[in-house]
Amino acid sequence: MVSSTFFAPATSANLAAGFDILGMALSKIGDKVTAYKTNKSNIEIISIKGDQGQLPLDPTQNTASVAVAALLKYVGYSGGIGLEIEKKMPLCSGLGSSAASAAAAVAAVNHLLQLELTAKELVPFAMQGEAVASGSAHADNVAPSLMGGIVLIRSYHPLDVIQLSVPENLYYSIVHPNLSINTKEAREQVPQNIPVKHATQQMGNIATFVAGLYSNNLNLISNGLEDWIAEPARAKSIPGFSLVKQAALDAGALGAGLSGSGPSMFAFSDALSTAEDCACQMSDIFNNQNITSNLYFGKVNTRGAFLVTEKPDTEDLISGDLA
Ligand code: HSE
């Protein structure tokens, strides 16, 4: 049977000031999706592994199949597609789990049907998966998952996605406490109106962060890592949020904050050893509250979704990156 398997990485969205407009790709964790043609005329979720039975098999409710449906509609393909999803990352974690499934699924179908769309061109379809998962078709997880690196969404109407420069010595730490946050509910916490002075501060922070990325100036990146919109409203959902953030700063982080809608928290550092230390110190604060956590740290992943050709262990897979 002809099939295509893609791995799409987990992501951390917002990066402090960039609510819904900034996201980065992480390494090693993510989702694997295999797509193949069937002799039916619909999209089926054949299996989901690694979700402990939590995700819907109903193709109208699953982020991967909804994204694929949008892609097939666009290209006018009416044949059947089967999808096998393998979760290799935690769910409801603030690490773009729904996005990774959608991204891997559209990338796999793109390859299977030889559509030859680029990673960037697949973003609008993967976004449709987010709409079913969180009630909002935001792109700050699917875009970096497909394209890799750090991505800016300048505009949603029309969609304008810009891949940003990533300094060589920029490292992330992610701590995922063993808590679950529903993105849809977390989005309802974000204020719909903000004072102009907060908007001004936020714009300054985003511009400073982007200036830092392009000038390899980590001080600018540090100064830009401050959120005046979503984080103040959401922080109360994370036990010991301020202490975790302070622990990262004390360990030498450039800045820290919520990863996406949480509960994961992220930090940026200028060295791998600092990133590891930050992750450990942040995790200790959760431990002190009897909350276990998973730690991840590394270089920003500039690769994005890729074709899986051989072994099932993602670290060993090389080849077939999207254009
Ligand atoms: N930008 C989205 C949010 C990301 O903060 O709700 C969700 O992972």
DSSP-based three-state secondary structure for 185: helix
Q: How far, in Å, is the centroid of ligand 1 from the Cα of 142?
A: 11
Rounded mean pLDDT, 69-88: 97
pLDDT above 90 covers a percentage of the chain that reads: 92
Q: Identify residue 66 by its one-letter amino acid code.
A: V
Q: How far apart (Å, rounded) are the C-alpha atoms in residues 188 and 183? A: 9
Q: How far apart (Å, rounded) are the C-alpha atoms in residues 118 and 271? A: 32
Q: Which tens digits make up the pLDDT trace of 247-256?
A: 999 999 999 9
Q: Compute CA 199 distance to the chain's CA centroid, rounded to the nearest angstrom.
A: 24
Q: 279, 296 in Cβ contact below 8 A?
A: yes
Q: Identify residue 182 by its one-letter amino acid code.
A: N
- State if residue 259 touches ligand 1 by the CB under 6 angstroms criterion: no
Q: Distances from the Cα of 31 to the Cαs of 58, 73, 115, 215, 312, in angstroms? A: 18, 23, 21, 33, 11
Which two tokens mark 34?
């295999």
Average pLDDT in the chain: 95
DSSP-based three-state secondary structure for 258: strand
Is residue 322 scored above 90 in pLDDT?
no
**Ligand 1, atom 1: nearest CA belongs to which residue?**
20
| Nearest ligand 1 atom, CA 259 | 8
Per-residue pLDDT, 127: 97
| Nearest ligand 1 atom, CA 19 | 1
Per-residue pLDDT, 166: 98
Which two tokens mark 159?
């969609």
Helix intervals (H) in the chain? 63-75, 97-112, 119-134, 142-147, 183-188, 196-215, 218-224, 231-234, 241-250, 272-288
Residue to mutate (ligand 1; options 11, 12, 20, 98; most atoms within 8 A of CB): 20
Is residue 193 scored above 90 in pLDDT?
yes
Q: How far, in Å, is the centroid of ligand 1 from the Cα of 58?
A: 24
Per-residue pLDDT, 317: 41
Is residue 320 scored above 60 in pLDDT?
no
- Please state whether 40 falls in left (phi above 0), alpha (psi between -120 and 50) or beta: beta
Q: Which tens digits make up the pLDDT trace of 253-292?
A: 999 999 999 999 999 999 999 999 999 999 999 999 999 9
- State if residue 100 touches ligand 1 by the CB under 6 angstroms criterion: no
Active site members: 130, 183
Per-residue pLDDT, 92: 87
Q: How far, in Å, is the centroid of ligand 1 from the Cα of 93?
A: 11
Rounded mean pLDDT, 191-218: 98
Q: How far, in Å, is the centroid of ligand 1 from the Cα of 106?
A: 20
Q: 146, 119 in Cβ contact below 8 A?
A: yes
Within 10 angstroms of residue 219's Cβ, the number of other Cβ atoms is 12
- State if residue 274 touches ligand 1 by the CB under 6 angstroms criterion: no
Is residue 1 scored above 90 in pLDDT?
no
Rounded mean pLDDT, 92-102: 95
| Nearest ligand 1 atom, CA 234 | 5
Q: How far, in Å, is the centroid of ligand 1 from the Cα of 311?
A: 32
Is residue 29 scored above 60 in pLDDT?
yes
Q: Which tens digits make up the pLDDT trace of 42-76?
A: 999 999 999 999 999 999 999 999 999 999 999 99
Q: Which tens digits make up the pLDDT trace of 129-171?
A: 999 988 889 999 999 999 999 999 999 999 999 999 999 999 9
What are the b/e assignments for 14-26, b being 16+ CB within 10 Å? bbbbbbbbbbbbb
